[in-house]
Copies of this chain bind each other. A is one copy, B any other.
Amino acid sequence: MKQILCFFAWSAVVVASVFCGVADGWAQDGLPGAIDTGDTAWILVSSAFVLCMVLPGLALFYGGLVRSKNVLGTIMHTGSILCLISLVWVLVGYSLAFGTDVGGLIGGLEFLGLMGVGEEVYPGTGIPHLVFMVFQLMFAAITVALITGSFAERMKFTALLLFAVLWSVCIYSPLAHWVWGGGWLGEMGALDFAGGAVVHISSGFGALVCAMVLGQRKGHGVEPMPPHNLPMTVLGTGLLWFGWFGFNAGSALGANGGAASAFVATHIAACAGGIGWMVAEWMRSGKPTVLGLASGVIAGLATITPGAGFLGPLSALLLGLLAGALCYGAVVWKTKLGYDDSLDVVGIHGVGGFTGIVATGLLASVGGQTGLLFGNPGQLWIQLVLGVASIVFVMVGTYIILKIVDVVVGLRVTPEEESVGLDLSQHNERAYS
């Protein structure tokens, strides 16, 4: 163990030192000429907002839902992924996703270690290249972090780290390239404004495979495992919502009409999602719940993500209501299937993301795009291809990665460690004293 860590630490240092002189000098010759300060301000803010979604947002959203003996372990999943994947993105990931396209499949290596990524304007926008890079970095980090909800309370920490790095490099970067980086899906005309496929389908269906491969938690379906701190989850929900404005409206890459439109659609879908889930739950089980409202908000947000810039406000409202009810159904239905997706990543992000991708093909009417209902039936077909291709790629890839990780370090903690909880067994800490 120690040797491996040592080795990693040192390689990082060595590699970095080598690039250091080269790349850091290189990056400076961009001309800041055409930077638009308003656009730049907005995307800087949006990047910070997305950070806020990851930490503290998602960390607390998930942390509140687990049992108190696992809250730190759960937070650590998100926290360590944020740190680690950010560095991976800087060193490798960004280049693979946004480097010059190679055969529609992957980006070139010219941006390794951010060589040549500087203060100059990013083509087609009014913001510096570095700002575009860091905005995308946050997306890369949150996507991997989202998956962790499916194997909460039982994953080994070393396995988590290895899984995260492999998944980010081998699944996220290529997929981002396909859709946004000049790859084949984007070229086909697939619409994914802020990551319905790249972020939500990929994390949601990755999560499905994880839940199936890792198996249920000890006591799943037998002991009650109520969330240990729902106000913490509400706090996480609020921060996710707040940050999602950066996520979606920031994807316009400027403070323009498109951002305005995406901002409004995002907010409306969040609200409608909350109401949709609440009403569905109220009708089925007799009482509306806080966790239901919160889950519906997240479902609405995940669902509007791919169409945020393409849907009008009333379409967003309709889609949000639908998303809330549908994801509630998916989550209820899950209990019948028997896999243990602990924090419902599949039911919310997977189902929501796919619904949003399809709905974009139906309801697009803004931002120069149109869907089936506005006279462009071809778009629906493209969207289906986008959705299905993402699902297949992600599920197969995630399966292979999990198998590799299992062989190398083993996926699950021991049953003994699991009943003690991740906090003490993995980290020698307790959350509350």
Interface residues of A (CB under 8 A from B): 2, 5-6, 8-9, 12-13, 16-17, 19-21, 23-25, 27-28, 30, 32, 35-42, 44-45, 47-49, 51-52, 55-57, 59-60, 63, 67-68, 71-72, 75-76, 79-80, 82-84, 86-87, 90, 113-114, 117-120, 126-128, 130-131, 133-134, 137, 157, 226-232, 234-235, 237-239, 241-242, 245-246, 249, 254-261, 263-264, 267-268, 270-272, 274-275, 278-279, 282-283, 285-291, 293-294, 297, 311-315, 317-318, 321, 365-366, 373-374, 426-433
Contacts and interface: CB of A to CB of B under 8 A. Distances in A.
B59 A234 contact: yes
Nearest to A57: B238
Contacts of A232: 231
B38 A238 contact: no
A48 B242 contact: yes
A17 to B, nearest CB: 7
A373 B21 contact: yes
A44 B263 CA distance: 8
A119 B28 contact: no
A8 B72 CA distance: 42
A317 B127 CA distance: 23
B2 A283 contact: yes
12 contacts: A9-B279, A23-B314, A35-B255, A36-B38, A38-B40, A40-B42, A67-B433, A90-B268, A130-B257, A133-B264, A229-B431, A230-B429
Given A36-B38, A229-B431, A231-B431, 4 more contacts: A27-B312, A27-B313, A41-B45, A120-B257
Contact of A432 (B23, B49, B228, B427): B228
A40 B130 CA distance: 21
A38 B255 contact: yes
5 A-B pairs with least C-beta separation? A37-B38, A24-B312, A119-B257, A56-B238, A38-B38
Contact of A287 (B24, B242, B428): B428
Question: Which residue among A75, A294, A317, A433 has the maximum number of chain B CB atoms within 10 Å of its CB?
Answer: A317
Contact of A83 (B119, B274, B285, B291): B274
Contacts of A226: 430, 433
A6 B294 CA distance: 21
Contact of A60 (B120, B235, B260, B288): B235
A36 B40 CA distance: 12
Contacts of A2: 283
A42 B271 CA distance: 23
B76 A293 contact: yes
Question: Which residue among A55, A113, A117, A291 has the maximum number of chain B CB atoms within 10 Å of its CB?
Answer: A55
A312 B20 contact: yes
B24 A72 contact: no
Contacts of A30: 257
A227 B433 contact: yes
A267 B297 CA distance: 28
Contacts of A118: 257, 261
A234 B55 CA distance: 8
Contact of A12 (B8, B228, B321): B321
Contacts of A56: 234-235, 237-239
Nearest to A134: B264
Given A16-B318, A79-B293, A312-B27, A268 B429 contact: no
Question: Which residue among A68, A119, A260, A315 has the maximum number of chain B CB atoms within 10 Å of its CB?
Answer: A260
Contact of A39 (B38, B57, B120, B254): B38
B27 A119 contact: no
Contacts of A57: 238
B289 A428 contact: yes
B283 A6 contact: yes
A290 B79 contact: yes
A86 B267 contact: yes
Given A49-B48, A290-B76, A314-B19, A231 B87 contact: no
A114 B60 contact: no
Contacts of A59: 234, 238
A162 to B, nearest CB: 14
